[in-house]
Amino acid sequence: MTSRVTATVDLTAIRHNVGVVRALAPHSRIMAPVKADAYGHGAVPVARALENAKVDALAVASLAEALSLRDAHIQAPIALLEGVMSFEEAAQAVYEQLHIVVHDHWQIALLEKLPPSARLTLWFKLDSGMHRLGFPLADVPQLVAALQRHPGWSFAGWMTHFACADELENPFTAEQIRRFDDALQGIPGARSMANSAGLIGWPQARRDWVRPGLALYGCSPLPSVSAQSIGLKPAMQLHSRLIAVRQYAAGEGIGYGQNYRCQRAMRIGVVAVGYADGIHRAFANGTPVLIRGARAQFAGRVSMDMITVDLQNVPSAEVGDAVTLWGHGLPAEEVAPWASTLAYELFCGLTRRVDFRYLGG
C-alpha cells in the first residue's frame, strides 16, 4: 500500500543532536525528555537511540509513559517530571527504579508511607518564578530537613524550570537563576535548570544537568537562533503527496468557505494530508510546503484529509510528487507560526493515521 502521510524519523539525527548538546554543555549530564511519545516522534525508538548515545537519564510526564519504556526494556534512569499521584504509583516507581521529581508536600507525604527500606531516588523541584510546579523557595530548609529524616532516600538534586528562556531580551530568566542560586546557597546537591532554550540561550544555566527536549528533536526554541546555525538536524520529515493538479480561472474560490480566491489563472495542487493527520485547521493561506525543492503555499482551508496549495512557484509539479510539510529545508519551527503555534504542538499533534518510519535504528 502506498503511504499517504509519512513521518520519517532519523535516529542518527537524534544521536547527532545529543552531540550538539554535549558540545554546548560539556560539563553537564543530560536528562532527555521523551514525554508525550518523545514529542510525537515515538518514545521507544527515540529512547533506544538516546540510550545508545549515552544520555544520563530520560524524562517522562507520567508513570504510564515510564512503564511503557520499561516494558520495551529501556534500562536508563527515567525521571518522572510530575512525580507520583498516589501511594501505589510511588511503590511502582520505586520497583521500576524510576527517579521521582517531587514538587509538593503531599508527594513527600506519599513517599513517607513507603517502607524505610524502599530504594527511592528523588529530585526536588523548586518554583523560581514560573508558578506552575515546584516548592516555594522558602521551603528549602524544610526539604533539607526531610532528606535528613530519611537517610535511606537517594537525592538526585534540585531542579527548576524557566518561564521565558526563549526570550533572550527578557530579564526574568536571569532573575530565576538568581533566586534559585540564592535559595540553595551553601546547600549540597546537583542543580538542573536548563530546558532547550536555557541551554542554548543562557550559558549560566548549564549546571550539573541539562534537560533539553526540543533541541534533541532538531529544533530551536529561540526565534532569533536557527537550529541550523547551532548544528541541530531536524529528526522528523513529514511528507505527503500531490493527488490532483487543476487549473482554475481568476476569481474562482478554493475549498470550504471559498476562503481563498484565485487572483489570476492558477494551478492548484491537492495534497493528501489534513487535520485528521495533525495539520491544524488553523493554518493560514500562505503556509509554506516544499515540492521539488521549491516553496508552494497553502491556498484554501485545511480539510479533514486534504489541503490545497498554490503551485505557481513549482510549474513542473505533477500528481505523485512528494510534498514536505516540515523537515529538511522547511523547519517545523518556521511552519508552526502559520497556525499560531509552536513546533512542539505540531509534532505532538500528529495522529495515528500517519505512518512512522525510522532510519538509523
Ligand X SMILES: Cc1ncc(COP(=O)(O)O)c(C=O)c1O
Residue with cell 560539556: 26
Q: Is 35 a catalytic residue?
A: yes
Told to check if 81 binds ligand X by CB under 6 A, we report yes
Indicate the helix (H) or strand (E) that contains 69.
helix 63-71
Using alpha carbons, select from 62, 53, 42 the residue that is nearest to residue 14: 53
3-state secondary structure of 307: strand
Told to check if 266 binds ligand X by CB under 6 A, we report no
Residues within window 198-217 making contact with ligand X, judged by CB under 6 A: 211-215
Q: Is 256 a catalytic residue?
A: yes
Closer to ligand X by Cβ: residue 33 or 331:
33
Residues within window 4-33 making contact with ligand X, judged by CB under 6 A: 33
- Minimum CB separation of residue 32 from ligand X in Å reads 9
Residues within window 217-236 making contact with ligand X, judged by CB under 6 A: 221
The count of residues in the chain is: 361
> Is the Cβ–Cβ distance between 88 and 111 less than 8 Å?
no
Cβ neighbours for 326, distance < 8 A, ≥ 6 positions apart: 234, 236, 237, 238, 332, 334, 335, 343, 346
- Minimum CB separation of residue 274 from ligand X in Å reads 27
Using alpha carbons, select from 296, 247, 251 the residue that is nearest to residue 271: 296
- Minimum CB separation of residue 62 from ligand X in Å reads 12
From the list 148-156, 191-199, 235-243, 322-330, the region that binds ligand X by CB under 6 A is: 191-199
> Is the Cβ–Cβ distance between 173 and 198 less than 8 Å?
yes
Closer to ligand X by Cβ: residue 207 or 211:
211
Count of residues that bind ligand X according to CB under 6 A = 12
Told to check if 278 binds ligand X by CB under 6 A, we report no
Interacting residue with ligand X among 28, 128, 173, 195 (CB under 6 A): 195
Cβ neighbours for 229, distance < 8 A, ≥ 6 positions apart: 220
Q: Which candidate in 54, 95, 113, 256 is catalytic?
A: 256
Binding positions for ligand X, rule: CB under 6 A: 33, 81, 161, 195-197, 211-215, 221
